[in-house]
């Protein structure tokens, strides 16, 4: 019997569990840990609430969760409730699927002012992550600045621009829906330090901006390179740039009935965030040019007055004591997922915050192959570890209140039952409420 602990119940965690189950069937026991009492990581708290079709992948993870030898161990924080070393002594393999929950920091003056939020915070707020549900962002100014030209920046801009009616069918949490309904924001500036050919935004997500009820995207045609240069781009990026070209071609007459503008400001590098009485009141930006793919400052600066700045410049994995960490890359130090025999990383914790949900599938299956290799070479010893039995004894000794998958299903039923009309669920946004909702056994 092989015992595997997977830390993190997002896509990378559940694909790893699925792969282990498929490879070893009844000869493996997989425990999937999460510090929250609810599963699915970024599927629940990262994927935009109006992208329900992406969230539907959780049904596949549920199938894995319901197989006989995989179990969910929620409400347990590895690193504080139980250490990695303790887990290593109990399980043959420990797989870190902890994602990248921390914002990459913007190291400029004023980045610590009130009204400056990282995307993990802001996305967590509108998705009801218990850690960020109380963020209460100030949406009372006319202009919001979003830094970064990736899909997270697009998610944020779209969420800020949508009407309440456009959220029908989404599971945006009520506190965010209410706050957005009374938002005064009518100009959303997306800042990119490089140009249209260097964006990280994907075509489908960009295309959505053309169909917003009260908002229209704006691109300055002068920022776009000559059309024939697009031929050199890889096909996905070429499609994205085609969207930018169509945004630049929207006639003013079509904008007349739009009350919100989503403005793409290219060649614009944030220099400093300006504050008044401790709150953001503007952002100073330096014009850049792109040389050999890099943004180079031109010395020309300008200020955009704004009341909120949202950084969407990438994420970092949270270090765990005793696990080697690559500070520069912001993830665990690993070789193709192997940190050391018996300890592995998968998903964003392995490769950094890039790729789609689907990228985690080959990652999860690959890590199980690596574990098999290490078993075959004898690097993981001769087995005989206590696995979940040992963990349960430790948990009882420490008085840990474990939330099981069956508990989660009761929490989910309560969330579904509380859904407002047109929404699939009303999420609990605090841990005590989640735990209370699992009811009596």
Q: Which of 314, 337, 364, 366 binds ligand NAP (CB under 6 A)?
A: 314
> Given CA atoms 216, 168, 133, 327 in this order, what sign does their dihedral have?
negative
Cα gap 99→77, rounded to integer Å: 14
Shortest distance in whole angstroms from residue 51 CB to ligand NAP: 6
Q: Which of 129, 162, 193, 438 binds ligand NAP (CB under 6 A)?
A: 193
Examine residue 355 and tell whether it contacts ligand NAP (CB under 6 A). yes
Token pair 């520069």 is found at 328
Q: Which of 86, 102, 106, 163 binds ligand NAP (CB under 6 A)?
A: 106
Nearer to ligand NAP, 47 or 434 (CB): 47
Examine residue 356 and tell whether it contacts ligand NAP (CB under 6 A). yes
Examine residue 331 and tell whether it contacts ligand NAP (CB under 6 A). no
CA atoms within 13 A on the CB side of 105: 8
Examine residue 124 and tell whether it contacts ligand NAP (CB under 6 A). no
Cα gap 289→297, rounded to integer Å: 7
| Letter string b/e over residues 335-358, b meaning 16 or more CB atoms within 10 A of that residue's CB | eebbbebbbbbbbbbbbbbeeebe
Nearer to ligand NAP, 347 or 387 (CB): 347
Examine residue 404 and tell whether it contacts ligand NAP (CB under 6 A). no
Task: Look at residue 425 and give its three-state secondary structure.
Answer: coil
Shortest distance in whole angstroms from residue 360 CB to ligand NAP: 11
Examine residue 198 and tell whether it contacts ligand NAP (CB under 6 A). yes
Which residues inside 1-20 make contact with ligand NAP, applying CB under 6 A?
none
Structure tokens at 48: 């935009």
Number of residue whose CB is nearest ligand NAP: 150
Examine residue 152 and tell whether it contacts ligand NAP (CB under 6 A). yes
Q: Which of 150, 217, 341, 366 binds ligand NAP (CB under 6 A)?
A: 150
Cα gap 315→122, rounded to integer Å: 13
Examine residue 147 and tell whether it contacts ligand NAP (CB under 6 A). yes
DSSP-derived letter for residue 408 is: H
237 contacts: CB under 8 Å, gap ≥ 6:
197, 199
Nearer to ligand NAP, 85 or 356 (CB): 356
Q: Which of 270, 337, 347, 387 binds ligand NAP (CB under 6 A)?
A: 270
Examine residue 353 and tell whether it contacts ligand NAP (CB under 6 A). yes
Contact window for ligand NAP (CB under 6 A) among 169-177, 283-291, 311-319, 415-423: 311-319
Nearer to ligand NAP, 92 or 103 (CB): 103
Task: Look at residue 41 and give its three-state secondary structure.
Answer: coil
Examine residue 96 and tell whether it contacts ligand NAP (CB under 6 A). no
Q: Which of 50, 92, 103, 205 binds ligand NAP (CB under 6 A)?
A: 205
| Letter string b/e over residues 241-255, b meaning 16 or more CB atoms within 10 A of that residue's CB | bbbbeebbeeeeeee
Cα gap 367→394, rounded to integer Å: 27
Structure tokens at 173: 């949490």
Examine residue 219 and tell whether it contacts ligand NAP (CB under 6 A). no
Angle at 133 between CA 129 and CA 138, to 5 degrees: 135
Shortest distance in whole angstroms from residue 9 CB to ligand NAP: 18
Structure tokens at 147: 């830094």
Strand order, beta sheet including 215-219: 116-118, 308-311, 143-147, 187-191, 260-265, 215-219
Q: What is the DSSP string of 413-429?
A: HHHHHTPPTT-S-----
Q: How many residues bind ligand NAP (CB under 6 A)?
A: 24
Nearer to ligand NAP, 70 or 268 (CB): 268
Contact window for ligand NAP (CB under 6 A) among 200-208, 253-261, 387-395, 398-406: 200-208
* List of residues contacting ligand NAP (CB under 6 A): 106, 147-153, 155, 192-194, 198, 200, 202, 205, 270, 312-314, 353-356
């Amino acid at each position: 019997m092989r015992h595997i602990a997977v830390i993190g119940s997002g896509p990378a965690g559940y694909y790893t569990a699925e792969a282990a189950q498929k490879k070893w069937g009844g000869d493996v026991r997989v425990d999937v840990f999460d510090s929250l009492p609810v599963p699915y990581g970024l599927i629940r708290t990262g994927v935009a609430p109006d992208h329900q079709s992406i969230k539907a992948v959780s049904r596949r993870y549920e199938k894995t969760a319901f197989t006989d030898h995989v179990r969910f161990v929620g409400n347990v924080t590895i690193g504080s409730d139980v250490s990695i070393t303790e887990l290593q002594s109990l399980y043959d393999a420990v797989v870190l699927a902890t994602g990248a929950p921390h914002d990459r920091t913007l190291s400029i003056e004023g980045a610590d002012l009130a009204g400056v939020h990282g995307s993990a915070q802001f996305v967590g707020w509108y998705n009801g992550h218990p850690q960020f549900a109380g963020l209460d962002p100030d949406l009372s100014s006319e202009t919001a600045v979003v830094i970064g030209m990736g899909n997270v920046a697009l998610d944020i801009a779209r969420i800020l621009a949508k009407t309440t009616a456009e959220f029908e069918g989404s599971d945006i949490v009520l506190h965010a829906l209410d706050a957005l309904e009374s938002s005064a924001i009518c100009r959303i500036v997306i800042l990119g330090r490089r140009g249209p050919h260097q964006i990280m935004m994907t075509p489908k997500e960009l295309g959505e901006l053309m169909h917003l009820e009260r908002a229209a995207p704006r691109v300055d045609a002068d920022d776009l390179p000559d059309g024939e240069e697009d031929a050199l781009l890889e096909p996905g990026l070429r499609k994205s740039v085609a969207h930018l070209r169509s945004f630049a071609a929207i006639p003013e007459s079509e904008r007349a009935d739009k009350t919100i503008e989503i403005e793409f400001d290219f060649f614009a590098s944030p220099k400093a965030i300006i504050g008044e009485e401790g709150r953001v009141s503007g952002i100073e930006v330096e014009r850049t040019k792109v040389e050999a793919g890099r943004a180079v400052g031109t010395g020309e600066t300008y200020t955009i007055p704004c009341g909120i700045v949202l950084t969407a410049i990438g994420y970092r994995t949270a270090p765990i004591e005793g696990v080697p960490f690559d500070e520069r890359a912001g993830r665990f130090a690993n070789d193709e997922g192997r940190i050391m025999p018996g300890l592995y990383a998968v998903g964003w914790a392995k490769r950094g915050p890039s790729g789609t949900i689907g990228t985690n599938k080959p990652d999860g299956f690959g890590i199980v192959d690596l574990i098999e290799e290490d078993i075959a070479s004898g690097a993981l010893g001769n087995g005989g570890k206590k696995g979940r039995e040992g963990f349960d004894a430790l948990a009882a000794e420490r008085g840990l209140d474990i939330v099981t998958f069956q508990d989660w299903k009761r929490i989910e039923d309560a969330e579904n039952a509380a859904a407002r009309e047109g929404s699939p669920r009303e999420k609990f946004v605090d841990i005590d409420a989640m735990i209370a909702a699992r009811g009596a056994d």
